[in-house]
Amino acid sequence: MIEAILFLIFGLVVFYFSIWILILLPAEMAEARGRSAVRWILVSLFFSPGLAIFLLWWLGDNPYREDDQ
């Protein structure tokens, strides 16, 4: 019984970490840089989360962002 509970907890932690890497981190990085979060989530899902994170870091802020700065 304890093993099942520990396995469930471990599974939930792995699931949350996967969602964070695949969706939440690229979305937060894209929004912080004035880029489309949906597009970068798709890059992360179809290609690689590492690639999406690296490209967002490398590209930096969107020079054409439309917010009040």
Report yes or no on 32 lying in a domain.
yes
Query: What's the pLDDT at 67?
Result: 63
Q: How many domains does the chain fold into?
A: 1
Buried b (16+ CB within 10 A) or exposed e, 47-62: eebeebbebbeeeeee
Nearest to 29 by CA among 59, 57, 66: 57
Q: What residues contact 30, with CB distance under 8 A and at least 6 apart? A: 36, 37, 39, 40, 41, 56
Confidence of residue 63 (pLDDT cuts 50, 70, 90): confident
Question: What pLDDT, in 10s, does the model give residues 20-62?
Answer: 999 999 999 999 999 999 999 999 999 999 999 999 999 999 8
Report yes or no on 65 lying in a domain.
no
Query: What's the pLDDT at 69?
Result: 52
Mean pLDDT of 3-10: 95
Residue-number span of the structural domain to which 32 is assigned: 17-59
